[in-house]
Amino acid sequence: MGFGDLRSAAGLQVLNDYLADRSYIEGFVPSQADVAVFEAVSGPPPADLCHALRWYNHIKSYEREKASLPGVKKALGKYGPADVEDTTGSGATDSKDDDDIDLFGSDDEEESEEAKRLREERLAQYESKKAKKPALVAKSSILLDVKPWDDETDMAKLEECVRSIQADGLVWGSSKLVPVGYGIKKLQIQCVVEDDKVGTDMLEERITAFEDYVQSMDVAAFNKI
């Protein structure tokens, strides 16, 4: 398993394809799996890799809480497509996390004035960086059931309409069609929202506005992140 070399264009393409129908590396909420892969990526993916870029920006918003995300961080070779091997390398994690800052200076018994000055500058930069970090944003993971009128409804068009709904604080995730009987299938689709910006009432109002395709919308699962 793996994504190839996540510091190469080919590796990012594998990641983008992998996230085309997923919100996260594993499961339906951010976890240590996302942290492990995020830290292996050298920076934001290019705009044409829209799925990888969407995931990168979303996981980046959890920078302050990443240590408390669920799960256990594993080697990169434990994630990704089964038919791809991880080649990122154990020495490639030159991330810009706060952990990389040497807060305790050199181990040498004697420290030069220049070394002291550099260490103090790094400490000041570190404190400034921490002070500028954004406040915790409350988010929720929502699973929606969107029901059509009948078995003749174009479900591909229905999903296209749902995904066309864009709002600040709304990220669409994976989806699937679930049989409900008499040849009718409902669309089950995942999304992550910022609680202060997007609510289920707004989602229902905008989704049911596509009345040529949508009969009703229900919330199948709602979890705080």
Question: For residues 164 and 102, which has the higher predicted lDDT (pLDDT)?
Answer: 164
Q: Total structural domains in the chain?
A: 2
Please list, in sequence order, all residues whose beta carbon lies within 8 angstroms of the beta carbon of residue 123, skipping any fewer than 6 positions away: 101, 103
- Output the pLDDT for position 172: 96
**Of the candidates 25, 55, 78, which is a domain's last residue?**
78
Q: Which domain range does residue 211 map to?
A: 139-224
| Phi and psi at residue 173, to the nearest 5° | -120, -145
Question: Which CATH number goes with the domain that contains 171?
Answer: 3.30.70.60
- Based on the domain organization, do 144 and 214 belong to the same domain? yes
For 200-210, b where at least 16 C-beta lie within 10 A, e where not — what string?
Answer: eeebbebbeeb
CA–CA separation, 146 and 98 (whole Å): 43
Burial (CB < 10 A; 0-12, 13-18, 19+), residue 19, is buried
**H runs (alpha helix) in the chain:** 9-18, 32-40, 50-60, 113-132, 155-163, 200-207
**Of the candidates 78, 98, 128, which is a domain's last residue?**
78
- Output the pLDDT for position 76: 82
Q: Is residue 203 part of a domain?
A: yes
C-alpha dist (Å) from residue 111 to 106, 119, 153: 7, 10, 74
- Output the pLDDT for position 135: 64
As a whole-number percent, the residues of the chain with pLDDT over 90 amount to 45
Q: Which of 70-79, 102-111, 148-157, 210-219 has the lowest mean pLDDT?
A: 102-111
Q: Is residue 117 part of a domain?
A: no
CA–CA separation, 90 and 117 (whole Å): 32
Residue-wise pLDDT tens digits, 174-215 = 999 999 999 999 999 999 999 999 999 999 999 999 999 999
Q: Is residue 180 part of a domain?
A: yes
Q: Is residue 34 part of a domain?
A: yes
- Output the pLDDT for position 62: 86
**Of the candidates 33, 61, 78, which is a domain's last residue?**
78
Is the pTM value of this prediction over 0.85? no
CA–CA separation, 81 and 15 (whole Å): 9
Q: Is residue 108 part of a domain?
A: no
Q: Is residue 125 part of a domain?
A: no
Q: Is residue 132 part of a domain?
A: no
Assess contact for 2 and 77: CB atoms under 8 A: yes
Which residues make beta-bridge pairs with 46? none
Q: Is residue 173 part of a domain?
A: yes
The average pLDDT across 4-19 equals 88
The average pLDDT across 17-40 equals 90
CA–CA separation, 122 and 105 (whole Å): 10
